Structure formats: C-alpha cells, structure tokens
Structure 1
C-alpha cells in the first residue's frame, strides 16, 4: 500500500490522509458517469496508493454516488478509511439551489446515507449548503 501523509481534522481526533478523494465525478454530476466497475476500481486504486479519506454526498446522482462508494468500500477494512458525506441539497435549478436544514430532514438523510454506504457510522457528516430559514443550532442538533 502506498503512503500519503496524515493530518488531524478538527478537534475530535479524526485523522485522515492529507489527500482526500472527492468521488462526485464518478457518477457524472458535471460529466458523464464512469461505468460502475471502473468507479469501484478507481476508489480501490486510490486506497491502495494511500488515500483513506473519501468524500461523497446524498445529492450526487442523486444517491448513486453513495451507492457506488458503498460497493467499493465493502472490500476495504472499515477501520482503515474515513468517509465524509453531505446533506442539505434537495434540488438544483438553473438559478436556484433548494436546501433543507430541518432536523427531521437531516436525520432522514443520515439514515439514508448510512444504508446506501453500507456502514454503521459516518466519520464526517456535514451540511452541503446552509438553510437560512432554519437556525443552524437546530440543524446541527440533528447530527448528535
């Protein structure tokens, strides 16, 4: 396995590879998606080269990116990788992003992400876009 330097992320003790892998492009948000088996092999290749931090979102696809990441990490020891995923974007229109930061929506998104990724926990779960109609304290309280 390759080596990528590691760094502490935040103050909770999470340590990640200094170079992370943003998985968005694998399922074609701004480009054509790669075939599933190619996406899986790319994630495994990145891990074998020392990347342990993988970022996705419930909005990419939507949902197909988390499903792809979930399939890829089945063959990687869970304690050797760190998964980041995001919530909050409901819909993107040409000149408008529709967001939702209500606690019940956040909890529902988190449960869905856990299932799609096939994991028991998410290392870094964060808001993709801020919902200015919901106090941030309310949104964040749903992630406890």
Structure 2
C-alpha cells in the first residue's frame, strides 16, 4: 500500500494529465480511461480497456466484460470502502449521464471528475450521493 505522500503524488500525476483534457469518447478521454490511468499510477495492474469510440460502444464493451455497471467492475478490482473514509486517490462512482455512472477521484476534501455541464476537463464536483467508493 502506498504512503499518503505517494498517494498524493500519484493523484497529482493523474490530475496533471486529465485536468484540462476534454471528455471525448473518440479520443479515449473518459472516466474509465481516467480511472485506469490513475490505478496504474497507484501501483495497480488493471485490465486493458476494450476499444470504443462512442457511448454505444462503451455500453457494448461493458456488457462484454460481464459486469452490470461501473460499480461492479470496480468491485472486482478494489476493496469497497465507506465514502466518508476516502483517502486522497480513492475512487467513487456517482450517477452520470448517457446511461452511465461516472468515476471520480478523491483529492483531499473534494471529488474530481468530468461534469456533464462542462466537459473541458476535470472539475471539483458537488457530490450529494455516492453510489460506492473503493480504496485505490
């Protein structure tokens, strides 16, 4: 397990790449790509992401994995935690758009992720309901 200093450094590396990277299905700039990149920075070896370039393609790719949703996929990779006990670098799932949940990263008192109203990069989110959280 990474120290708090290492977790913060790995999270900063992820945020440096995605902070201004616009959400784009066709360019592989989605929350699942964000999560995979972040997990690799945190020392995990997540499986490859099937190639998809649209919301429909992403739905098909998720179905092929055999998981019902993003939470089930994360359950297969990481230990579940109570959202209130999240550390810097942990992941959570929020209700998202286009029939998908959204994966976000804990960044010390706030959750960062793509927001449907401004897909120009990661934003601090006002979180009212977390569907699940995982120790990264």
Q: Same fold (TM over 0.5)?
A: no
| Higher Rg | 1
TM-score by length of 2: 0.30
- TM-score, reference length from structure 1: 0.29
